[in-house]
Amino acid sequence: MARENDEWVRSFQRIIYAYYNEHKRPFRWRETHDPYAILVSEVMLQQTQTSRVRDKYDAFLTAFPTFESLAQAPTADVLELWQGLGYNKRALSLKRTAKVIMERHGSKLPSDESELRALPGIGTYTAAALRVFAFNVPAPVIDTNVRAVYIHFFSDGSTNVRDTDLLPLIRDTFDTDHPREWVYALMDYGVYLKRNMKNPARNSTAYKKQSRFEGSNRQVRGMIVRFLLDGKHSAREVAKGIDIDETMVKKALETLVKDGILTCRDDTYAIVS
């Protein structure tokens, strides 16, 4: 049901746009309409703050400017430019997605929701974000900033707010005439809220506290990938090189092989080609 004419909707939109018109955040990925460049930004932004993506984005696009160049690039080169962003598996998924798009989508990013969802590393959020930012189509983008906005304005303070509770509100208030600008505006308003109060998105069921990073398998994985970007090594050499207990290193190596980030032959570990 279209509700754009309702007074409360226009009032809400006015608040969001008023802030956006004065304080919109400039990002390189907001200047482009190239679906590839937008895809790269969205994958980088998964679980990663804009400040870190900002510093890595241009170099990555310069090295891999197209689906084709990324699909054909050596994985080590891709991971090299990914360092500092975290969650290396995302870089592999992005490269696999580029390959699928070359082979099965005529080198064009699909705009269909289920086709996007079928791509490696593209989930509910990213599929919607791509539809909005790359194709300017209205789609319910729900990330932590959008949750913060809708919970702040429309929730009574209860905890465990589900995305399905927010969805009707998001649809009813969507500025279908300007999908891209609207979602940018929502996200910027969410950031503004979180700077000025306890994160309202904490009341979302989607909000999860991270397990400790220091001393974790995650931390060791990151160290190992960085170390192996300079060349292949045995488990023992890796342990010595990063100064971590060999038992722990072996466990992390196993998970990296299982994730398809490393290969192992004759106890020699290397970044996959």
Partner DNA sequence: TTCCCGTCCA
Partner DNA sequence: TGGACGGGAA
Segment lying near DNA (by CB under 7 A), choices 20-28, 68-76, 197-205, 233-241: 197-205
Report angle CA 162, 90, 31 to the nearest 5 degrees: 80
Q: What's the CA gap between 132 and 221, in Å, rounded? A: 34
Which residue of the set 7, 42, 214, 237 is catalytic? Answer: 42
What length is written for the chain? 273
CA distances from 16 to 61, 130, 165, 232 (A): 31, 21, 20, 51
Of residues 71 through 90, those in contact with DNA by CB under 7 A are: 83-89
Q: What is the dihedral of CA 64, 69, 71, 76, to 10 degrees?
A: -50
Mark the segment that binds DNA (CB under 7 A) among 6-14, 106-114, 220-228, 263-271.
220-228
Q: Is the dihedral of CA 142, 143, 146, 151 positive or negative?
A: positive
- Beta carbon nearer to DNA, 35 or 222: 222
> Which member of 66, 111, 155, 255 binds DNA (CB under 7 A)?
255
- List the structure tokens of 121: 């590393």
Q: Which amino acid is at 127?
A: A
Residue closer to DNA by CB (options 180, 221) is: 221
Told to check if 66 binds DNA by CB under 7 A, we report no
Among 126, 192, 227, 244, binds DNA (CB under 7 A): 126
**Smallest gap, in angstroms, from Cβ of residue 141 to DNA?**
10
Q: Scanning residues 137 to 196, which ones bind DNA (CB under 7 A)?
A: 143-145, 148, 194
Query: Active-site positions?
Result: 42
